[in-house]
Amino acid sequence: MPPRVGPVRSLGVTVVHNWSRHALAWLAAFAVLAALGGCNAMKLGYEQGDRLAYWWVDRYVDVSDAQEPPTRDAIARFFTWHRRNQLPEIARVLARVKGEVGGPIDASMIRQVQQDTQRLGRQAYESTIPDLADLMLTLSPEQLRRMESKFAESNTKYRKQYLKSDADARTDARFDKIMDYAKLVYGGFSSDQEKAIRNAMGPYMLNAEARYSERVRRQQEWVAMAREISTTRPSKAQAEDMLRRYADEWQRPAAGQQRSTDAGINLTVTIANLTTPEQRAHAVKRFQGWIEDVQALMQEGRGGQGSTRASQ
C-alpha cells in the first residue's frame, strides 16, 4: 500500500482496497497511518481535500451536474467527521508505535498495527455509507461502464508493473515498492541490507497471482453491487445494507489472502530487525513528526492557528 491520502478516496471502493492491503503490514500500515493522519500528504489532503476527493470520484464516474453539489457536500462532511473522530485515535496509535520502533519488532506488534488500520479504515468507510448510497442510487449505465473501464485501466497498469513474465523483473518491481515503505519509516538502507531484504522476499512473491485475483474479484463484486443498486433502485436503507454486507464479506479474507498477509508480516519483521540503531532513531523521529502534524491538524480543527511542522 503506497502512502496515499486514504480518506480522500473514501467515497469509493478504493477505501476498501487500500484498507485491505495487508502485505508488509507493519510498513504499509505506517504509510496508511501517516496518510490517515499526520504526514505532509495528509496536510495537503486537508488543505485541498474537496478538490482532490472530487477529482477522484469524477475520474471514476464522471459526475453529472445534478450529482455535483451533493457529492461535494459529502466530501466536506467526511473531512469534518474525520478530523473530529479519527485524528485523536490516529495520534494515540502513532504514539504507541513511536514507542516500539526504537527496538526489536515482533509479529504481534505488526498485527496490532494491521488491526488498527483495519478498524480505522472500516470506520471511515462506515461514515461514507449514507453518501455512497445516495450516489449509487443515481448512477447511470454510462457511469457504471466508466467505472469498469477505470478498474480495467488500473489492472492493466498493475499487471504491467507487478506481474511481469520474468520472475526477476517481477521481484525487482515489488522490491522497489517495499523499499519505498521501508525508507518512509527508516530512511536510507545499505546495499547489504537491501540485498538481505530482496533475498527474504521469496515467500511473499509466491502470492503475487493470488493478490491480483483477489483484487479483481473485489472490483467485480463492487461493480456488480453498484449496478444492482442503480438498476433496481432499492430504498436508501437497503442500499446502505448492501454496502455494509460488501465490507463484511471483504473482511473475511480468503485462504490465499491470509497466506499473503502472513508472508508480508514475516518479511516486515525481517526488514525492521535488520535496521541499525541510527535507522531506528530515524523512525522514532519520523513518528514524532507525524504525531506533531496530527496534533496541529486537530488544533486547526478547534479553531487554533498552529501550523503543521514539516516531517523530517
Domain count, the chain: 1
Is position 263 within any domain? yes
Is position 310 within any domain? no
**How does DSSP assign 5-52, residue by residue?**
-GGGGTTSTHHHHHHH--TTHHHHHHHHHIIIIISHHHHHHHHSHHHH
Is position 309 within any domain? no
Is position 276 within any domain? yes
Is position 11 within any domain? yes
Is position 308 within any domain? no
Structural domain span for residue 278: 6-301
Residues 6+ apart with CB under 8 A from 47: none
pLDDT in tens, the chain (312 residues): 333 333 333 333 333 333 333 334 444 444 444 444 434 555 655 667 678 788 888 999 999 999 999 999 998 888 888 888 988 998 899 999 999 999 999 999 998 988 888 888 888 889 999 999 999 999 999 999 999 999 999 999 999 999 999 999 999 999 999 998 899 899 999 999 999 999 999 999 988 898 899 889 989 999 999 999 999 999 999 999 999 999 898 777 666 677 888 888 899 999 999 999 999 999 999 899 888 888 888 887 776 443 334 344
Is position 129 within any domain? yes
Single pTM value for the model: 0.81
Residues 6+ apart with CB under 8 A from 85: 123, 127
Is position 306 within any domain? no
